Amino acid sequence: MQKAPPVLRTERLVISLPRPEDVDQLLAYGERNLKHHAPWSPPPPRLPLTTSMYRSLVEQIQTDYAAGTSVRLWLRLESTGKLVGAIGLNQIVLKAFRACYVGYHVDHAHEGRGYMTEGLSAVIRYAFDELQLHRIMANYMPHNERSSRLLERLGFEREGMARDYLFIKDRWEDHILASLTNRELADSAMLVKGAT
């Protein structure tokens, strides 16, 4: 049976899947960050953003969690409940790979305050300890210095450069490939041979 969705708590944040009652806050977050995220993230499916798009997104996030294919979490301030960012563990693959891609963004007004470092550390712990993943992959455009510093701070290692890797804004962009490996993963053989 599927485990209850995670609720991760850090010093300043509560990190969880979004719920249907979050739709208005998600839309407001998306609208106020369109320009901030556009240089680094794939474009939204269409504009303008609407509540029905976010209603579908919340449903999809819940469905994907139940299927075990992704865990897309939102970061809110413990003090006020305000949404300040998101972290997705995407394309989760088990068996002999036990890996996923991580994607993240923070609200423009909350950048440079350590929220992403705090949130991503907790999500990495969850991915390694609870999901028992072996590898988390993160990719970023070479001039995304904030993303590069964030990953370096958390111990990710650069593995190479992929040409024309991801469609951002209006063209295919090169990305640096990075990853973090779970060196503590015990009983790997049992995990790999056992149930997915």
Ligand X SMILES: CC(C)(COP(=O)(O)OP(=O)(O)OC[C@H]1O[C@@H](n2cnc3c(N)ncnc32)[C@H](O)[C@@H]1OP(=O)(O)O)[C@@H](O)C(=O)NCCC(=O)NCCS
Nearer to ligand X, 19 or 113 (CB): 113
CB of 148 to ligand X, least distance (A): 9
- Residues with Cβ within 8 Å of 31's Cβ and at least 6 positions away in sequence, in order, are 49
Nearer to ligand X, 28 or 192 (CB): 28
Stretch that binds ligand X, among 1-9, 17-25, 69-77, 139-147 (CB under 6 A): 139-147
Stretch that binds ligand X, among 18-26, 111-119, 127-135, 182-190 (CB under 6 A): 111-119
CB of 133 to ligand X, least distance (A): 19
Query: Could you say whether residue 40 binds ligand X (CB under 6 A)?
Result: yes
Stretch that binds ligand X, among 24-32, 74-82, 145-153, 178-186 (CB under 6 A): 145-153
Report the residue from 32, 117, 158, 172 that binds ligand X according to the rule CB under 6 A: 117
Report the residue from 6, 68, 114, 135 that binds ligand X according to the rule CB under 6 A: 114
What are the two backbone dihedrals, phi and then psi, of residue 30, each rounded to the nearest 5 degrees? -60, -45
Query: Could you say whether residue 121 binds ligand X (CB under 6 A)?
Result: no
Shortest CA distance to 64 belongs to which of 100, 92, 31, 37? 92
| Alpha carbon distance 86, 105 (integer Å) | 6
Nearer to ligand X, 45 or 112 (CB): 112
CB 185 within 8 A of CB 96: no
Nearer to ligand X, 40 or 93 (CB): 40
The greatest distance separating any two alpha carbons of the chain, rounded to the nearest whole angstrom, comes to 48
DSSP 22: G
Alpha helical stretches, state H, 74-144: 115-125
CB 161 within 8 A of CB 174: yes
Query: Quick check: helix, strand or coil at residue 110?
Result: helix
